[in-house]
Amino acid sequence: QAAVTQEPSLTVSPGGTVTLTCVSTTGPVTSGHSAYWVQQKPGQAPRTLIHGTSNKHYWTPARFSGSLLGGKAALTLSGAQPEDEAEYYCLLNYNGPWVFGGGTKLTVL
């Protein structure tokens, strides 16, 4: 099965901007992978923030945005808040099966 790689950890200052990326070992990430971004805070269940590369659920704060960037899926956080400190996972679809990235631990400091 394919593997998906993310930055293990990133730090952003409050109010700052950070981009998390998601790379597939099979080649460029495309819209066909229907990239999801899932947030998980300690002790909580996961929560889907972004689906279909760039679409938000109604509960997704406007400061989060998803895109494709140079063959990668990307999650950009603009105007980071302390409550955004969490683990972020990308999830890619490979025509049926899914694969999670290893997650990015985002620290807001």
Whole-angstrom Cα distance, residue 54 to residue 2?
22
State the minimum distance, in angstroms, from the CB of residue 51 to another protein: 4
Residues at the interface with another protein (CB under 8 A): 1, 36, 38, 40, 45-48, 51-52, 55, 57, 87, 89, 91, 96-103
CB of 13 to another protein, least distance (A): 25
- Closest approach, Cβ 17 to another protein, in A, equals 24
Closer to another protein by CB, 72 or 103: give it: 103
Question: What's the CA gap between 101 and 20, in Å, rounded?
Answer: 11
- How far apart CA 26 and CA 6 sit, in angstroms, is 14
